[in-house]
Amino acid sequence: MGYARAMSENVRIERGWIFVNGTRQDDVTIEIGTGGEMRFGPFEALSQRQATQITWGHILTASVQRLAFWRR
């Protein structure tokens, strides 16, 4: 399994929210792939990028989805 495929399994985007397969640990770090689900908005995801494997592409996609959703 390639690196990009592994990342896409841990992050998904729905209706402008970025969902990450992971849980927050006691020391405030995030452990990826634990089966828990964390939800981030695009703005919050900017500060969590390194810890959660969220890419700029995920943030941009979620932002565009939010704009489209609010224009309805």
Question: What is the mean pLDDT of the segment spanning 42-52?
Answer: 87
The pLDDT value recorded for residue 16 is 93
Distances (CA, A) of 40 to 1, 2, 3, 26, 32: 26, 25, 22, 19, 14
The pLDDT value recorded for residue 68 is 81
The pLDDT value recorded for residue 26 is 85
Residue 28 has what DSSP assignment?
A: S
Here the tokens at position 70 are: 């609010």
**Mean pLDDT across the chain:** 83
Domain boundaries of the chain, sorted by first residue:
3-70
What contacts 25, CB < 8 A, 6 or more positions away? 31
For residues 1 and 15, the model is more confident at 15
Question: What is the mean pLDDT of the segment spanning 46-63?
Answer: 89
Here the tokens at position 12 are: 């998904």
pTM, entire model = 0.78
Q: Is the pLDDT of residue 3 over 50?
A: no
